[in-house]
């Protein structure tokens, strides 16, 4: 399981929307945060989100303990089990 938390603000909505396009991904809410989960690795394509760099590189609010970010660059954000 890979779990990512993203604050629900207008700039970040596309991150949750694009993540949700993957059928293996489930997007829930905990208060004002998106909880984005996948059984395997969780990958979000940056270009598909349309996020400008400042937004992209600050969009992660939390990563569940035991998971790690293995990629966060101009191409993608990838979270998987450590």
Partner 1 sequence: MTESTGGLEHRVRGVDHVAFPTFDPAATVRFYRDVLGFPVVHSICAAGWGPEHHPDFIHFFFDIGNDDRIAFFYYFGTENPTRGDKGDAYAKFAADVPEYFVRSRHLAIHVENEEDLLEYRRRLDASDWPVEMQIQHETIESIYTHDPNGYFFEITRAMRPVTPQEDLDATLTIDALLDVLDRPEPTFGKLLARKAELIVDRAAGWQPAEPAGTAGWETVVR
Q: Note whether 76 binds partner 1 by CB under 8 A.
A: no
Q: Note whether 27 binds partner 1 by CB under 8 A.
A: yes
Q: To the nearest whole angstrom, how small is the minimum distance from the Cβ of residue 55 to partner 1? A: 6
By beta-carbon proximity to partner 1, the closer residue of 21 and 75 is: 21
3-state secondary structure the chain: CEEEEEECCHHHHHHHHHHHCCCCEEEEEECCEEEEEECCCEEEEHHHHCCCHHHHCCCCCEECCCEEEEEECCCEEEEEEC
By beta-carbon proximity to partner 1, the closer residue of 26 and 48 is: 26
> Which of 22, 63, 76, 80 is in the footprint of partner 1 by CB under 8 A?
63
Question: Contact positions toward partner 1, by CB under 8 A?
Answer: 3, 5, 7-11, 13, 16-17, 20, 26-34, 52, 54-55, 58, 60-69
């Amino acid at each position: 399981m890979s779990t990512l938390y993203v604050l629900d603000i207008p700039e970040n909505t596309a991150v949750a929307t694009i993540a949700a396009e993957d059928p293996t991904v489930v997007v829930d809410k905990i208060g004002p945060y998106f909880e984005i989960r996948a059984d395997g690795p969780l990958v979000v394509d940056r270009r598909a989100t349309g996020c400008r760099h400042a937004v992209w590189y600050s969009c992660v609010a939390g990563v569940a303990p035991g998971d790690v970010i293995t990629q966060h660059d101009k191409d993608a954000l990838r979270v998987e089990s450590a």
